[in-house]
Structure 1
Amino acid sequence: IFDLVIIGAGISGLAAASAAHKTGQHVVVIDKGRRIGGRLSTRRADGFTFNHGAQFVTAKGDAFSAVLHAAETAGALARWQIADDKTAFAGSPTMRDLPVFMGQGLDIRQDMEIASIMPHPLTGTNNNGLCLTDKNGTNLLTRKLIVTAPAPQTARLLRDIEPAMAALADTALYAPCWTAMYGFDAMPIMPTLPIRNRDCAIGWAGLEQTRPHADQHYPAITIQASADWSQHWIEASKDEVIAALFDTLASETGVELPRPVMSAAHRWLYAKVIRPATIDTSIAPHGITNAGRSIAIAGDWLGGARVEHAYDSGLAAINALSI
């Protein structure tokens, strides 16, 4: 029996797990994906490396600042001048290196997708715990649970056992993001990168070699479409998106790119929080926990679009469960 199970190995889940682990709790993090980090994601394919999720991280508060500085000291982050007036932290050599640093020493289990959450009596006590069952029929017993999945997935998981918490998750709203990745056999001539323009079709375009400490051997460009463009193209095929964003980059920059030798696309349905959940006691009387304080929810969708919001939410969930 675990003291705490955390669903989701993104930044909020890793923050919560690390805090619980430091207090001596028997904690496990489970995730349906093959890699930790959520949207702090990196893809390697055909000799190319693409940071196709969050491009950088920043911190305003002391808690997340301490994590970023520790990661920088360990070589997992590096400072990056992304604009004349803005310096941020980039993963070193990839964005995935930050969650890998945060996950050191934690029990993290991948490829586990939870299908149901049910009350379960704890042996030798008068208290109920929880039984989590994954899609392969594997059961996990725990005293407490934190769900850090995106809001729509959190709502689906909690709809039957804690409908008020599911209703709270329903109040969050996301913008999607199409990301396209292009690999070249020769260095393309490019304007100043990265491009950052939320008002155009391309919200971000970056040459992977320009990232600090990049371990890229072959030239590669990552393009992230704006929220409006991504919503308009939400049902498009990957091939359509790859072609459209390639042509758009050329037209918006005036640069004629060579044809890529490889290309790929990824659709982030829950890329950016544009309306955080409304913490309203008329919807969820106990806020981010249930009445028995055995279940809590966490995620950037409870605070805002920044990675730091996810981190702070993970710590808030630990505090709400009195761990």
Structure 2
Amino acid sequence: MNILTNKSEFSGENLSAGGALPAPGSIRHEGSRTVRAGFIPLVDAAVLIAAAEFGFAQREGITLELVKDVSWANVRDRLAFRQFDVAHMLSPMPVAAMLGLGSNPSPTIAPFSLGRGGNAITLSTRLYGLMQQAGGLGGGEDALKNAKALAAVIRSAGAAGKPPLTLGVTYPFSSHNYEFRYWLAAGGIDPDRDVKLVVVPPPMTSDALAAGAIDGFCVGAPWNMVASERGVGRIVATKQDIWPSAPEKVIGMRPEWAEANRDTVSRLVVALDRAARWSDEPANRGRLAEVLAEERHVAAPADIIRRVLAGEFAIDPEGNRRVVENYLV
């Protein structure tokens, strides 16, 4: 597994080139500086969490103060209102902010990538049962065949006058939203007319599915696999089926904060790079999974997180598993 996207792009040496951020060794430490970082409980926050928990930030003279949040909208607002210095963000969020899109857009830059994978589309077991009947599914079909089976269910429901399915995404400007829409359209489903798309914070997706509030969702690990392990969901497509290795999560920060704290930003990037390299080592997955599983971090079973880190996950309540190469890349 490679949690980090192209580490060499974000080395301290690269950042110091062309009059940008200074190289880490070019300015002496001026004592520890505190960086407050917001994050959502997802496995792709692993590099940020590892940097704080395993000494990589401290080595660079940074006290990385992690603040767990529940929704991407909260993270966006708390970064804009200066409650956070940096934040774990969806890759489209800084782009949307710089374009002035959405509520409370605030200029945001993203000097570091945290990952390029981890998403999966999960549908309720009830809905998947209908897809098996309508599309003749046997359980081993690919993402496109699953989408076409869902389209058959939707056509049948529409002819019977039933309300459209409600499907959850984590944020309007998110790869989850775009990937879900692409997958639906590939199967012949109009995402704007044939279904109802709503925003559900990542940690709430499994509970919302279990309660019947939504019929399916697209979310990052581990919440996609948590739903299948609970017996309430079936994974029918992964990010690698739809948009392999597309940008997923980044570290976002306000441009003026980065300009005022150039040395701190440079040191933070070095710490994150080292944390990513450590996290990539299979021998470290057990320790990393245990830390991520803690209530103050992801708060999900360590066994699930360990399997996610290895790219292995259960796709249905029967325990059928799939290994996705470079699942988090």
User: TM-score normalized by structure 1?
Assistant: 0.32
Q: Highest relative contact order (Cα 8 Å, sep 6+), 1 or 2?
A: 2
* Higher strand fraction (1 or 2): 1
